[in-house]
Structure 1
Amino acid sequence: MESSQGNSISQNNLDELLMQSTSAIPTSRVERLLRERELRRSTRYSHSNEESKDSNGDADMSISINDLYVPDGERGNREEDFFEGNASVKNLMDGYETQGARVPKQRLLVVANRLPVSAIRKSEDSWVLEISVGGLVSALLGINEFEARWIGWAGVNVPDEVGQRSLTKALAEKRCIPVFLDEETVHQYYNGYCNNILWPLFHYLGLPQEDRLATTRSFQSQFAAYKKANQMFADVVNEHYRDGDVVWCHDYHLMFLPKCLKEYNNKMKVGWFLHTPFPSSEIHRTLPSRSELLRSVLAADLVGFHTYDYARHFVSACTRILGLEGTPDGVEDQGKLTRVAAFPIGIDSDRFVQALELSQVKDHIKELKERFAGRKVMLGVDRLDMIKGIPQKILAFEKFLEENPIWRDKVVLVQIAVPTRTDVPECMYPHSHAKLY
């Protein structure tokens, strides 16, 4: 007998599960949820112990947030169990599997504020493209089982049609689709609302303390630009969307995008993933547009976070601020369920292993070994912004050497710091253009 996932289950095991599930009728909602969870566990256990598999040999590795919400007495190590085998893209693909095999090369539209390449204009119709630096780019380079298209801003203002056409053509070779934002929109949307309002708040830094009337006026204009920019992203997505595509929206820059996309096509598969912390409901409550942003995100089919705590904070904000019901699978609003889960991000490790074989990499490794010969090397790689704790790291290293003089001249700290948000003074260290050694 075949299960809905295409894995074999022996008749005896299935009969046993059915007998267990019907041995008693749950008398409460909590008991029913616990019974369903135990049934899923038993089913997964039967799958993992079955010797025979389908021809594709793939096991279902998706785990829902059911495994997160358990009674306090049973919580134990469930958080650690939850992180095993998660893949956010696989959860989005629930509606696109055939019996025994996945549809080959499913189209995936990745939508982020910035494209994975930066455009530099050389002439009226000539552009040079350089790979952008960032964690999102590094993480998504490992996705190769989908036919991916990346939609985002190229990081440059292109007001003329000739430049837009030529840049669109150049980006198409990289499977990228540009969203053209004018300078004022970028200033109000990206430098303003995204990095002056949302970014500090999501990192528990609070809203900017300025003159109240001036803050209110700037907030309103920045929020309007934020909604306008999100609508512009949605217009481009809708232009290139095909039936069956999965749209994957990224980060706090595009919290309005799921709602905009669903207004175009309610059947569109939409996921949204946050690459920063999501604050507790008490912190999120201080944001004037809190309810509107939450409801816009809830328009997505799946909402993802890095950790269990961030997912729990989001569900808590929806229940306490919007008055909605948090369920084991996510958040329910008038019969519409938005799944909420944690998906720890990773990198394409094979790329790093292969890079070790490059001659220029080998030469650089040799140079570093000669430079730091006989000393322990401590390496730090961080973005150069206030939340990364780089000054604290240097002070801690200084204190270590003061308290352990035997290690002086025997250990060295190498700090690699990548400048970020250079147009937003609030997010930068003073003199952050200087190199750290």
Structure 2
Amino acid sequence: MQNYLEETLLICFSFLIVHSVFLGWHKAQLQTKHSHRRQKVLVVANRLPTKPKRDADGNWTFERCSGGLVSCLAGIRAKFDMVWLGWPGADFNDVEKDIVANEAMKQGCYPVFLRQNLIDEYYNGFANNVLWPLFHYIMPPFDKGVNECSTGQWEAYRKANEIFTEAILSVYEDDDYVWIHDYHLMLVPKFLREAKPDCNIGWFLHTPFPSAEIYRTLPWRQEIIESLLHANLLGFHVYDYLRHFLSSCVQLTSLEISAHSVDATSIGGCIVTCATVPIGISPDEFLTGLQKPEVKQQIEQLHEQYAGRKVILGIDRLDYMKGIPHKLMSFGRFLENHPDWADKCVLVQLAVPSRRDVPEYQRLQRQVHELVGDSAEVRRQISGKHSSIATGVPVIYMDSSMSPDDLSALYNVADVALITSLRDGMNLVSYEYIACQHGKTVPGVLILSEFAGAAQSLGAGSIRVNPWHLQDTAHAIYEALMMGSEEREALHDYAFKYVSEHTAQKWAETFLQCLQEACSDLMEVTSQVPPLLPYEEFLSDWSESVQRLIIIDLLECLAPARERMNLHSRGRPKFIRLPPGLWQCLKLWHVETGVFRLMPS
């Protein structure tokens, strides 16, 4: 019995040594291939960061957009080459495509050409008519559920994702990083993994991910979630969205799932890392903009315009998830509770037009216009009840966009920012307001919906409200207007510290760092199996030996946890180090018995 145990121990020990040596060599080879050239990041989004325009001669030119992902990704160009893939924003004929592609490539962009009918079905249809509402907890009406129309939109969505994948493959080189953005392209990870099994794939969601109970109502739930599990890294704004995704994986798959990863190798995917990487803004751009002479002049004009009145500011895209009607009704409730404030404050609501061709948005626009109307039919509404000849209307409502300079001035003048999103992935308006309030003697107060992702980062620097509770929001408005300067400064200092530390550039750098680590970890886990032992030689030595010793380390009792060999990033090659005391015991045993031998690798 003792001889049998010794034989077993020695075999295990031999495997341990061989595996350690080979795995270290193999991973070193994998790492060195990254040093041969400067790696690229392929940024894949629905739209290119450029706008196509025809000049006076009828030629196509591209105007670079500012803000959004463009500014977020500007900081990573120092470390990576970057190519942006996306739809150029218009339908081009075959002759124009080559011209447009050449012009776009001059700006580091690679256009993905989609026919207008495909855009209507894929983007306006499935992406924004099915996925967007569902991800924001809007269930389809019973009489307008899954039908032939939405099934056709699904096929268009799938087709568009295939076209995007083909575009990626046309510019992809080994070891490039592919960063896919948002719910428009959730089938790309699987298509890409099937074509390039070793591809480094990251995906980031810019909206909420709904709870499993909501997500499971989607007929194509399995195809989408299994496709995402072919990415190396899945990024979300806040932990709630990550948790909802993992919960959906638990209920829809039989995969092994941990707190931050999913082992999807059994379905052709990989070991997927899930991370929380909240997006930010570039506050320096706003702080610098406030120093422009034209912005300072605009600030003075706004102070004169609203002299003697507190300004409550609402800036939202005209979207049915931004809670604009809830905001207006809460403000009306506030004026009913405190009529003396009707001539002391004004709500300036900027509603930036969005998706005007969608019927739901047209209905929302009519509803908002009714709430700010002053006719006899809506006398119970805000303007009809609280207007006067002396003070005018208490609500200034604008259906328009605004230049960055005018927006910064309005942010700076506002005493209160009122954000009542019913569901929001992050909401960067709150960040922009905090940035533009910095430096004021008495900073403004942020009222923030608890259903916005920003509430998890700026919650302690704001007044959090439930926008569905009109009375609660109305009280928050009163509390913000009456708040003392000391408490205002404390809230602002907390919020500004977060905004200035968690910038857009840091978001991009953090995501790419997480993607590098996830891909490196996957290389380590999926490295090739070491070669088999030379059994004939081993069995010959084994049969001739008289005494044998095999040591098994249970849960790292004898050998300590793997150490990092002066490597800074997680996932680099790791090596097992046997403690000197253990080696000394082995040497003494060898001297006494003369039969201890390590098999060569």
> TM-score w.r.t. structure 1 length?
0.70
Matched, 1:233 2:164: yes
Matched, 1:328 2:251: no
Aligned AA (1:180): F
Matched, 1:277 2:208: yes
Q: Tell me the distance in 1 between the aligned counterparts of 2:322 and 2:279.
A: 18
Secondary structure class of the residue paired with 2:113: coil
Maintained 8 Å contact 1:195/1:427: no
Maintained 8 Å contact 2:318/2:365: no
What residue number does 1:436 align with? 397
Matched, 1:217 2:148: yes
Aligned AA (2:167): V
Aligned ranges 1:376-387 → 2 under 5 Å: 376-387=310-321
Unpaired runs of 5+ residues, structure 2, are 1-28, 370-395, 399-601
Maintained 8 Å contact 1:280/1:317: yes
What residue number does 1:9 align with? none
Q: CA deviation at 1:191?
A: 1.0
Give CA deviations for 1:173-219 in whole Å, capped at 9, x if unaligned: 3322211110110011011111111111111111244366xx42112
Structure with higher strand content: 1
Residues 1:171 and 1:370: Cα distance change in structure 2 (over 3 Å): farther
Q: CA deviation at 1:310?
A: 0.5
Q: CA RMSD in A?
A: 2.9
Residues 1:419 and 1:326: Cα distance change in structure 2 (over 3 Å): same
Q: Tell me the distance in 1 between the aligned counterparts of 2:61 and 2:143.
A: 40
Secondary structure class of the residue paired with 1:210: helix
Maintained 8 Å contact 1:110/1:150: yes
Aligned AA (2:181): H
Aligned ranges 1:15-414 → 2 under 5 Å: 106-122=39-55, 126-130=59-63, 132=65, 135-137=68-70, 139-141=72-74, 143-145=76-78, 146-161=80-95, 163-210=96-143, 215-334=146-265, 336-414=270-348
Which region of structure 1 is more displaced relative to structure 2, 247-256 or 425-434?
A: 425-434
Q: Tell me the distance in 2 between the aligned counterparts of 1:107 and 1:96.
A: 17
Maintained 8 Å contact 2:114/2:160: yes
1:421 to 352, 355, 364: 355
Q: Tell me the distance in 2 between the aligned counterparts of 1:338 and 1:423.
A: 38
Residues 1:256 and 1:225: Cα distance change in structure 2 (over 3 Å): same
Give CA deviations for 1:369-426 in whole Å, capped at 9, x if unaligned: 2222332222222111100001111111122122122322322222222222223223
Residues 1:224 and 1:124: Cα distance change in structure 2 (over 3 Å): farther
Q: Tell me the distance in 2 between the aligned counterparts of 1:104 and 1:351.
A: 33
Q: CA deviation at 1:233?
A: 0.9
Secondary structure class of the residue paired with 1:346: coil
> TM-score w.r.t. structure 2 length?
0.52
Q: Tell me the distance in 2 between the aligned counterparts of 1:120 and 1:168.
A: 14
Residues 1:289 and 1:337: Cα distance change in structure 2 (over 3 Å): same
Residues 1:416 and 1:117: Cα distance change in structure 2 (over 3 Å): farther
Residues 1:404 and 1:204: Cα distance change in structure 2 (over 3 Å): same
Query: How many pairs does the alignment contain?
Result: 338
Higher Cα radius of gyration: 2
Maintained 8 Å contact 2:325/2:368: no
Maintained 8 Å contact 2:317/2:351: yes
Q: Tell me the distance in 2 between the aligned counterparts of 1:97 and 1:238.
A: 23
Maintained 8 Å contact 2:88/2:112: yes
Give CA deviations for 1:314-341 in whole Å, capped at 9, x if unaligned: 0110111122221133111246310111
Residues 1:405 and 1:137: Cα distance change in structure 2 (over 3 Å): farther
Maintained 8 Å contact 1:281/1:321: no
What residue number does 2:524 align with? none
Q: Tell me the distance in 2 between the aligned counterparts of 1:142 and 1:288.
A: 39
Unpaired runs of 5+ residues, structure 1, are 1-94
Give CA deviations for 1:248-276 in whole Å, capped at 9, x if unaligned: 10111000011111122121211011111
Residues 1:197 and 1:391: Cα distance change in structure 2 (over 3 Å): same
Residues 1:427 and 1:306: Cα distance change in structure 2 (over 3 Å): farther
Structure with higher helix content: 2
Which region of structure 1 is more displaced relative to structure 2, 125-134 or 379-388?
A: 125-134
Q: CA deviation at 1:238?
A: 1.2
Maintained 8 Å contact 1:234/1:260: yes
Maintained 8 Å contact 2:49/2:64: yes
Residues 1:123 and 1:304: Cα distance change in structure 2 (over 3 Å): same
Aligned AA (2:249): C
Which region of structure 1 is more displaced relative to structure 2, 132-141 or 349-358?
A: 132-141
Q: Tell me the distance in 1 between the aligned counterparts of 2:311 and 2:75.
A: 28
Secondary structure class of the residue paired with 1:377: strand
Q: Tell me the distance in 1 between the aligned counterparts of 2:296 and 2:77.
A: 27
Residues 1:187 and 1:204: Cα distance change in structure 2 (over 3 Å): same
Aligned AA (1:436): Y
Maintained 8 Å contact 1:419/1:433: no
Which region of structure 1 is more displaced relative to structure 2, 248-257 or 120-129?
A: 120-129
Q: Tell me the distance in 1 between the aligned counterparts of 2:39 and 2:248.
A: 33
Secondary structure class of the residue paired with 1:152: strand
